[in-house]
Structure 1
């Protein structure tokens, strides 16, 4: 994201620094091989073998069996074949597994739905499969699983939607399918993995303006502020980076202030890690840019000393990223008019 301040355009800090905050959804964590069965032995052999084509063809046929138990077994084995051997992902998709797996996501059996969601997630780890999965109609069933599935199905659906959102054309479709409020709910009420997966998906989806609006309307600011305030949550960085892509919207800035975000951001500048200090400072700049009221609120929270300290101390990297001239900083927060050549408060972002 870019934003303009005093006639100059700056790259958002998150462009260069978010990779450490977010880890991609690499595969499901839904358990490993079943034990004590001929199927498990067959699957172990297939995963170790260079030739699993025959088994894959058989499993794809079983996905459309009249027996729910056979469908479960086939979906589970496909999930594990795709998880444990990357080269199988394209083979499974080419064998015709995608559409029947998507059908399973809409079934009423919770375990069968979970296996279907997770198999689709693992197939989506192959970039060549993403277009096929989206074109086969996976988005709406994944959103339904995000709404009503088991906790594991919800987490894996969030991951699968993240993978599909890495194709730019899918971001709007996912947002319009109702995913954003459900991801916000997972961010607020899910376990740690659910919160992590939801934040990562939201970070990707909210690069699109209409999804930012949906996220703000869904009440995303409250969980973001709460997670940023909880240093023990392991979610501070992720929440701050999600906030950084939203705060360019006036509605987002208003909601952030209403949810008590300014004191939390000031605390991050004071006591956070170096990366947290920098991203919090960027967000505070954007909050203050066009609002004398918000400047006053930020100043009253004691932000000026730690912001000045951030510009004058710390690592060379921090000094390069953040430069705050003290005289002009005071002028900005005093609310006095600022000339176009008198840059009151600015940050330099280096790619």
Structure 2
């Protein structure tokens, strides 16, 4: 009976930890969303800011040793649901169609009211007095609750002129006689003034079409409205085309010709340069349909039909007709993109397609062989990395990260590592949800697979936004584990990844709590298979963190660092001095200054002021200055 009660208690504790961890991760994800359309910037910004202010409460609960009362746990679950709803609304503000967000103002306003009310109710149900949180955090939570309560009672009004202009054009989508000033206002207020802006809006509308969230006719009218805005912007911005000078809008004798809809790419809405036909018979601009396919889609964007194959057939007839139309209208025809230097032969394309098909085979041997072939192809050539990604291999490789076959898993993660060397592929790998699978391999794979998983995370972390996603995925404890128990290569790969990830402030605490400090200090003292350089570099990044300094103090790090300064390489002496300086600026600075002097740090510091790099000399002088100031204090002040 006692064992049953113990098991029940452990399960309940695990449930509490899972709920709190979910809250921490959700707030972090919300915090990473920071770009919204201008028309709703105040509303989205206020919602995001208030949610982020709740982060300290969840962090303190995560670290608390006291049990969370059952009643409070229920309210925290309710808070998790409210935060999820808030996150979905914020993502809509970042990624959704701007035209739709304005036209659907009543619907969006209602969503803001619902989310605000949901968050206010969740905060109302949380009895802060029952939770183990500091008074400062409790006051902050109460302030946020008051703000949500006030926001629930009043609604910010959308720009009336923007809504009037847009809804008027939407209703008159077939009329051509529209005041150009209206298009100018819309382009500015909707932030649709560049190719990138308009392309993103077009993709957002297509995403709405594919998910079926709005009637097809409504999305078609919004797409027509977007085309008209693009036509206006095109006449004002030379970035879009290179028309004959006679066709500038200032020439009253001529009108800018309207591009026929059949000449526009359905994705980008631009005049096509290199039209290609997909398996459903629809035509797209080559570069945009390739981007669509390589991000994991296997359907035709316009018809939503599943593509039988990924073959892209040049539409020579349409290309010729577009050229003739441009000539007749005295417009410089769009230049056909030059053939990529990496363009593979038909035989090579066929091989890659076969390999990709075999990745999804029910035969494990076929999967293993295909993953191995793609791994080798991606290793030897940048051209191959581009071609393999273009063919859609990345989502299929990601699926194999969870396979039970160790060799297939190893080939898959290494193929992703090789593909990630090409910067554009990093985005596709992240978009494909690869991080969770890579972390799984890092925890459970063979040693070689774990090494390459760590190297892949390092490669992906070259993009700053990816550091946040990777840090929130549970990667840091797995990297710390590899750092402590891996092969020599595995330790180096783990240290490199940790160094890169911990340049993001939020990941430092995660790494410290995962136990990285004792592992790093042990590696600094080991002479066999030296990891001193890498370990000190990681400590240098972490040592500004308060929890890291506390951990180093408990582990008697000062004598270890002083010993490095006495006997190691110039680079290591410099890094050790940098870490020691951080230790001597914290709460225990006086204790650490006395300890460092007792260990004989003065002589190596003086040597560093003469022989070190500019950075090393600066660190040494700062430490010496602190010691001199401390020695000048009255004895009673030092006590």
TM-score range, shorter chain: 0.7 to 0.9
Structure-2 separation of matches of 1:134 and 1:112 = 20
Any idea what SS the aligned residue of 1:280 has?
helix
Query: 2:595 aligns to what?
Result: 297
Task: Give the match for residue 200 of structure 1.
Answer: 496
Q: Is it true that 1:331 corresponds to 2:621 in the alignment?
A: no
The offset of 1:86, in angstroms, is 2.4
Q: Deviations over 1:74-126 (max 9, x none)?
A: 10000001012221011001101001100000111111111111111111111
Q: Greater RCO between the two (CA within 8 Å, min separation 6)?
A: 1
CA distance in 1 between partners of 2:624 and 2:431 (Å): 56
Q: 1:159 matched to which residue of 2?
A: 455
Alignment deviations for residues 2-23 of structure 1 (CA, whole Å, 9 cap, x no partner): xxxxxxxxxxxxxxxxxxxxxx
Query: 1:77 maps to which residue?
Result: 373
Contact 1:139–1:174 under 8 Å retained in 2: yes
Q: Describe the shift of the 1:235–1:253 C-alpha distance in structure 2 as closer, same or farther (beyond 3 A).
A: same
User: How far off is 1:56 after superposition?
Assistant: 1.1
The 3-state SS of whatever aligns with 1:302 is: coil
- Give the whole-Å Cα distance in 1 for the aligned partners of 2:422 and 2:606: 46
Aligned length: 288
How far residue 73 of structure 1 moved from its aligned partner, in angstroms, is 0.6
Partner of 1:240: 536
Contact 2:372/2:411 (<8 A) preserved: yes
Query: Would you say 1:91 and 2:387 are equivalent positions?
Result: yes
Query: CA, structure 1 residues 316+193, in 2 after alignment: closer, same or farther (shift >3 Å)?
Result: closer
Structure 1 residues 326 and 283 mapped into 2: Cα distance closer, same or farther (>3 Å)? closer
Would the alpha carbon gap of residues 328 and 81 (structure 1) be closer, same or farther in structure 2, given more than 3 Å must change? closer
Higher-Rg member (1/2): 2
Q: Kindly indicate whether the alpha-carbon contact (under 8 Å) linking 1:187 and 1:194 is maintained by their aligned counterparts in 2.
A: yes
Q: 1:208 to 1:316 in 2, by over 3 A?
A: closer
Q: Could you state the TM-score of these two structures normalised by the residue count of structure 2?
A: 0.43
**Partner SS state of residue 392, structure 2:** coil
| Residues 162-173 of structure 1: pairs in structure 2 closer than 5 A | 162-173=458-469
* Partner-residue secondary structure (3-state), 2:476: helix
Give the Å deviation of 1:53. 2.2
Query: Match for residue 254 of structure 1?
Result: 550
Give deviations 1:150-202, integer Å, cap 9, x for gaps.
Answer: 11111111111111111111111111111000100100010101100000000
Q: 1:215 to 1:318 in 2, by over 3 A?
A: closer
| Cα shift at 1:309 | 2.0
- Give the Cα–Cα distance (whole angstroms) in 1 for the partners of residues 623 and 400 of structure 2: 61
Indicate the residue corresponding to 1:15 in structure 2.
Answer: none
Normalising by structure 1, what TM-score? 0.77
In structure 1, C-alpha distance between the alignment counterparts of 2:507 and 2:440, rounded to whole Å: 18
Distance in 2 (alpha carbons) for counterparts of 1:244 and 1:326: 15
**Cross-structure match for 2:562:** 266
Instruction: Report the 3-state secondary structure (helix = DSSP H, G, I; strand = E; otherwise coil) of the residue aligned with 1:195.
Output: helix
* 8 A contact 1:143–1:179 mirrored in 2: yes
8 Å Cα contact 1:225-1:260 kept in structure 2: no
Q: Contact 1:274 / 1:318 at 8 angstroms: preserved in 2?
A: no
2:420–2:459 Cα contact (<8 Å) kept: yes
CA RMSD of aligned residues (A): 2.0
**In 1, distance between residues paired with 2:559 and 2:437?**
40
1:330 and 1:109 map into 2 onto residues whose CA distance is: 58
Aligned positions of 1:31-110 closer than 5 A: 51=345, 52-110=348-406
Aligned counterpart for 1:142 among listed residues 422, 429, 438:
438
